[in-house]
A and B are shown apart, each in its own frame.
Chain A
Amino acid sequence: MFVTVLFALLFYVATAIFLVGLGMRIARYARTPAPLKIPTTPAPTTRGGVVVRMGTEVLLFNSLFKANKWIWLFGFMFHVALALVLLRHLRYFLDPVPTWVVLIQPFGMYAAFAMVIGLAGLWARRVFVERIRYISSPSDHLMLALLLGIALTGLGMTYLWHTDISAVKLFFTGLMRFELNPLPTQPLLLLHLFLVASLMVIFPFSKLLHAPGVFFSPTRNQVDNPREKRHVANVKWMIAVEKPAASADQ
């Protein structure tokens, strides 16, 4: 019972920090003005074009592909695998389990291996490539350790030391209705859940902010049309000094 209460509290707190922290960060990005047009050109000249650009950036890591095929390979592998694994985990939160979640289940299982390979590749580069070693701080290594820990404990439960997964599901669906159901006390499960909760807490204060950040990046999300449409923003230096700037805004 003690473990159940502890983990229930942990997940409530972690979820709150994750949602509030991330929400505040996103609100800050959205509120902060982008005073000038700075898309990295060639850039799309229409909104629709920007959606396509952002899509290739977020779904295919287009710029990274241009930059470095190894980082792209490992990074892409990790992120796609993570997405599949996360989606697969919906089965532990949703009742009944939607058909599409059932359908991706086998892919999700294998994706965990791809996730480990991707993370290991990225970590190897961080250790063995001199340039990347130079720019790494302890937190960069810890982040990889954390993610790898989550993946390996998950794999461990899938293939070696099974846990009572239906009890786990009852625990989490219960949490969502503010009911307490007992959580199995298998150590690997507890470690897995603890690491996940840690990741949620760290998220809004770390480089994991790249996930929302990319959508707000002016070099990627701005339309290249400064001559056609006058870009104005609410910043002191732009509106205060002179008269014409304030006159007409198309």
Chain B
Amino acid sequence: MANFETPELQETVEIPALKKGVMSHSRPFVSKEQFQAPLGFPGELADDWKDVAIAKLGELLKTNRALQVFMDSCVKCGACTDKCHYFLGTSDPRNMPVARQDLLRGVYRRYYTLPGKYFPKLVGATDLTEEVMDQWYSYFHQCSECRRCSVYCPYGIDTAEITMATRDIMNAVGKGQKYSNEIIGKVFKIGNNLGLPQPALEDTLLGLEEDVKDETGIDVRFPLDEKGAEVLVVTPSADFFAEPHIDGLIGYAKVFHAAGISWTLSSHASEAANFGLFIGSNENMKKIAMRIREAALDLGVKRIIFGECGHAWRVAYSYLNTLAGPFDFLDPRYPVPQHICEFTHDLIQRGVITLDKSRNDHRRVTFHDSCNVARASRMGDMPGGQFVIPREVIKAACNHFYDMAPETIGEATFCCGGGGGLLTDDLMELRVKGALPRMSALKQVVEEHEVTHMAAICAICKSQFSKVLPYYGFQMDQIISVHQLVSDAIVLDAQQ
């Protein structure tokens, strides 16, 4: 299938012996001027790129407390060294979180600390050179910003913050990543990551209405740009046509139909994902987030609900109020924004919608906690609601649910291997190897409980697993949307 070997599945998480530099060749395509310009970044390295990079680092240290504290605080205790899925899957020591951080920390120490200025060798400080920049480009594109390391660090050092800062520095000197930057350009120009214009979107949604009608005989609507709807749904654009995402979108529509709550999608904000997060660019993240505010104002909705999307939910839950708030024009009885699982869960609890679990009896299901939902957001009122609520929804929709090993779910969940701007074919080796811990945990429940499907609530997870499942001997359609389970179980005629 490719010019690398798929790792062998493991019984439990095994810590590999170090193989230095084995992943130094892995790097995504570099962005070109045409993709850099719309984001406000230079197209290529200028002569003074080192000065610009060092100045940018200085600016970030002054405007991001996390970066400053994280640069200083690491004691090299080793707690994080065996926590990254990319290290576990590749054995490259630079994929140990602390070693990844040290690529930036060495430069920080050289230019911004006294010992680094006078005794660089002693404290591991390094000059910024082209070679260092190459290492940055390679290894800061082998971090999916999943925050697993930050759970275990005694000081809460989050490598994601350091990855984002370094990518921001690289963009500032014209060394951006094509995949993320091209996509952000599409969002600015067309409204979503896939570059799906309004007429195409409308067609797709009409097609879905027909499909559901054929299948159920019921007129379930998929409204677009409908002013005066109660709810604006913002969902990842993969939900409009990719498998298994689209079955999730059908699920949302059926839930709204059954609950009798009017809703609409927006062609202006036809994308939940915010890749500004991945590249650590607050300016771009804010600009992308503003589309959602504009759409909500324009359409006059009372609530905003996000579809199944992991990093999107992080930006929505944790940042939207900061980036595009305040949302005092929305109905104050509901949190802004809400997650579709919170919405569906509440309707199930109150008995507004009815699910017939037996319709999913042919499935034995497990649940993959998506990294940014798990460790960078919440659902419901209590800490950890992000673990409880999706499981409650799944259990309400099917009879056979089995969790994977506890050290691989909840706050300890492993990233799918494709998050944080790495879901691109030029990083296939990394993606396959990074999926090893999750695939091993899946195999265990497949063997113990005859699990047939893994449900997820993230567009990236779903795309990533469709692609990597076959490498490990599974079927690509074993990954499904949580709302696909809801879609198949929901009793629609009860409301008629």
Contacts and interface: CB of A to CB of B under 8 A. Distances in A.
Interface string A167-180: 00000000000000
A214 B76 contact: no
B378 A41 contact: yes
Nearest to B290: A242
Contacts of A57: 154, 156
Main secondary structure of the interface of A (DSSP, over half): helix
Contacts of A248: 326, 328
A139 B115 contact: yes
B374 A41 contact: yes
A34 B325 contact: no
A249 B321 CA distance: 11
A28 B156 contact: no
B494 interface: no
A68 B76 contact: no
B386 A42 contact: yes
Nearest to B147: A40
A157 B63 CA distance: 48
Interface string B148-189: 001111111110010000000000000000000000000000
Residue picked from A75, A135, A226, A228, most chain B C-beta under 10 Å: A135
B101 to A, nearest CB: 9
Interface string B66-101: 101110111111111111000000000100101100
A10 interface: no
A164 interface: no
A200 to B, nearest CB: 15
Interface stretch (A87-95, A107-115, A184-192, A230-238): A230-238
A37 B376 CA distance: 9
Given A32-B65, A218-B65, A135 B326 contact: no
A125 B325 CA distance: 49
A38 B73 contact: no
A210 interface: yes
Interface string A206-227: 1101100110111110001011
Contacts of A68: 78-79, 82, 152
Nearest to B335: A227
B392 interface: no
Interface stretch (B195-203, B259-267, B279-287, B345-353): B279-287
Interface stretch (B5-13, B121-129, B235-243, B433-441): B121-129
Contacts of A32: 61-65, 68
Contact of B65 (A33, A49, A247): A33
Interface in A133-153: 134-140, 142
Nearest to B102: A135
A216 B158 contact: no
A238 to B, nearest CB: 7
A142 B122 contact: yes
A34 B66 contact: yes
Nearest to B81: A131
A207 B72 contact: yes
Contact of A38 (B15, B72, B376): B376
A131 B93 contact: yes
Interface string B351-374: 000000000000000000000001
Given A40-B411, A45-B383, A134-B96, 6 more contacts: A28-B68, A33-B65, A131-B81, A136-B76, A219-B150, A250-B326
Closest 7 CB pairs of A and B: A137-B124, A67-B152, A213-B73, A219-B156, A67-B79, A42-B383, A132-B78
